[in-house]
Amino acid sequence: MKFWIRSKGTFHKSITFATPMSPPPARHKAEYKHGRAGWVAPIMEKQVFCRALVSASWLSGALKSRPTLRVLDATYDKDAGKQFSERHIPHARFFDLDQCKDQASPYEMMLPSERHFAEYVGRLGITNNSHVVVYDTDKMGILSAPRVWWMFRVFGHRNVSVLDGGLRNWLKQGLPVTSENPQFGAETFRAKLDPSLLHRFEDVRDNISSKRFQLVDARSPARFRGPEPKPGEGIEPGHIPGAVNLPFSTFLTKEGYEKSPEEIRRLFQEKGLDLNKPMAATCRRGVTACHVALASFILGKENTAVYDGSWSEWFHRAKPEHKVFEKN
């Protein structure tokens, strides 16, 4: 038997269950499923890997039993490195988004080259056989981790997941943190760019007339429309013509977990977005746009692209008539 189940805020798809059993203790009932044949317990060893999300309870156990597991703290904050040195999940390594990007680009968060990415993650002890789990420490639960999840996928590594609920819920469950830095050697990682998951400026510019794909903007409504004060020096709010606003925060529960597949699907439907048609995501700098890619991935759409330059590039390169700004 296979079901969707929820365990500590995370939905797992197609988990195989054991034979029917008597009702479980009330305190553990949320971890079981009641089917036509009665209560059944999950066989956790048969969970499907390479899924988008893992729970804190699963990660806690996997840290003790899976030598190819690599955990990355991908917090994007000016004090992220300092915070990591003070507190992180055991065995985690720090992924610095400001270091793993195109340093020569004038825009905020452009992808590095294949070679740069391969060398960077190799120095973190990651190989092509590693199962990578990414988290961040934001109070929302999940903020920048999906960017690193997408980066691994765009460079050909599919065995990557996001820790559902982030460090916020890891701590809430009473799981350990440490200030100890893990000892690891450099490894060899081979990166191969998947262009289907990446859109450039020219792709988005041409799409204004061709309408080849749906463009989803993950920023707040105020930054999308324009009334909110400019989010950064030299960059005013506004959006790309034809973009649909679906704020990344709507994919998260108030507890900081990813919403259920049913809730996520409804969010796309309410915006008139068709998951059967090509889709790309944008935001301010290409970070929260990756929430759209993650959310659609959860629904089985694995080919949502991200406009890497996003608004920070578009604002500086696009023609004035291609920048929509709604004044108060």
Q: CA distances (Å), 105 to each of 71, 76, 85, 117, 316, in order?
A: 28, 18, 29, 15, 13
| 4 Ramachandran zone, left/alpha/beta (phi>0; psi -120 to 50) | beta
Options 50, 100, 283, 290, the catalytic residue: 283
* Residue 100 is among the residues annotated as catalytic for this protein: no
Q: How far apart are CA 78 and CA 75, in angstroms?
A: 9
Structure tokens at 112: 């590095």
> What are the tokens at 140?
């929302």
CB 75 within 8 A of CB 95: no
Rounded to 10 deg, the angle between the 289-298 and 261-270 helix axes is: 120
Q: What kind and span of H or E run contains 17?
A: strand 10-21
CA distance 134 to 94: 10
Distances (CA, A) of 12 to 3, 40, 44, 258, 277: 8, 15, 11, 12, 25
Residue 153: count of CB within 10 angstroms of its CB: 22
Report the b/e string of 198-225 with b at 16+ CB within 10 A: bbebebbbebbeeeebbbbbbbbeebbb
Catalytic residue positions, numbered? 283
